[in-house]
Amino acid sequence: MSTKAFFGKGWPVRVAFSVGRHLPRAVGEQVARLGARVLVSFDSDLRAAVFDNQRHVLGPEASPETVRANAYEVFRQAARAYYELFRNVGRGRTRVAEFEPPVRVLPETRARLQAAADTGRGVFIAGCHVSNFDLGGIAFCQEMPVPLQVLALANPTPGMELFNRLRQQAGIMLSPISPETLRQAIRRLREGEGVITGVDRPIGEGDAPVEFFGATAHLPVGYMRMVLRANCVVMTGTCFYEEGEYHAVVNPHWEPVQTGDREHDIAVNLRRVLTELEGLIRQHPEQWMMFVPVWR
């Protein structure tokens, strides 16, 4: 059984949740370090994916030692992020103001969200899986001036279903991707509401070859068709761990190119989204929680 398949099962996540939500923070940090040392040291599909993804982000000049150090940080930060989701939402803290460590929606981020909402158009936020995107996503949903629908992976594994229940417990309007939820998302965007989803993870069906960090990756592109159909504005955003707290950040909103040539417009707008996501990931590549191979 692959490591990814193991963590996709329900019982390992349930055990981690049951134990993690009661651990003191200092103990949780030690467990995260230990888990990271184990995962970075033994061959597995997760280790291979993280190492390969980090090589692409860091570039060919990065030494093997740097790649390994970053991979260790990815596993450590991921373990801590899951622990802090369990410890906060799992113990009944569902408001951003209650979270420990603090999750900050910076004034610049709040102003940019408001400016996008003030257009009166729908707002599509293309996110990337950096740092504690769960607590960061909760912050976006609670701070967005308009209702925000979260599109999640279709056909979630039992382990992912537990994460989804925690997200919903915190008030997130979460919808696993399906034809019906995509139609619902388009309706919401046309009515001036918001939709957010991660677009930096391969999902299989519907992926297409795109340039990402200077090489060909296979990533979802269907969201851009939705954006053009809904005639909404676009933002990119994520969450960083900095100086002992999480920061939810977004880039300014922009108007998608619409010339009438649909394939051209999709390509141009995808390029802008991916360029902005590259810029966000490059700020903290060691926090990019990507455990599947993006380039293949």
Amino acid identity of 146?
Answer: V
Domain annotation covers residue 296: no
Q: What one-character-per-residue DSSP string does 223-253 give?
A: HHHHHHHHT-EEEEEEEEEETTEEEEEEPPP
pLDDT at 292 over 70: yes
On whether both 151 and 271 belong to a single domain, the answer is yes
On whether both 125 and 152 belong to a single domain, the answer is yes
Going by pLDDT thresholds of 50, 70 and 90, the confidence category of residue 9 is low
Average pLDDT for 196-220: 94
Q: How far apart are CA 138 and CA 133, in angstroms?
A: 8
With both helix axes pointing from N to C terminus, report the angle between 64-89 and 25-41 in degrees, rounded to the nearest 10: 140
Position 140 scores a pLDDT of 96
The continuous run of DSSP H or E covering 20 comes out as helix 10-20
**Number of domains into which the chain is organized:** 2
| Residue 155 zone, left/alpha/beta (φ > 0; ψ -120 to 50; rest) | left
On whether both 262 and 194 belong to a single domain, the answer is yes
Average pLDDT, the chain: 94
- Domain end residue (candidates: 89, 110, 140): 89
- Domain end residue (candidates: 89, 123, 144): 89
Domain annotation covers residue 248: yes
On whether both 277 and 181 belong to a single domain, the answer is yes
On whether both 76 and 117 belong to a single domain, the answer is no
Position 2 scores a pLDDT of 66
- Domain end residue (candidates: 38, 73, 89): 89
On whether both 115 and 69 belong to a single domain, the answer is no
On whether both 79 and 186 belong to a single domain, the answer is no
Position 156 scores a pLDDT of 85
Which tens digit of pLDDT belongs to each residue from 165-192? 999 999 999 999 999 999 999 999 999 9
Specify which residues 209 forms β-bridges with. Answer: 218
Host domain of residue 7 = 3-89
Amino acid identity of 193?
Answer: E
- 275: Cβ contacts below 8 Å, ≥ 6 apart: none
On whether both 49 and 165 belong to a single domain, the answer is no
Whole-structure pTM value: 0.94
Domain annotation covers residue 295: no
Average pLDDT for 86-96: 93
Domain annotation covers residue 111: yes
Which tens digit of pLDDT belongs to each residue from 100-155? 999 999 999 999 999 999 999 999 999 999 999 999 999 999 999 999 999 999 98
On whether both 131 and 85 belong to a single domain, the answer is no
On whether both 67 and 103 belong to a single domain, the answer is no
pLDDT at 1 over 60: no
Q: Where are the beta strands (DSSP E) in 61-172?
A: 103-105, 123-127, 148-152
Q: How far apart are CA 71 and CA 48, in angstroms?
A: 10
Amino acid identity of 277?
Answer: L
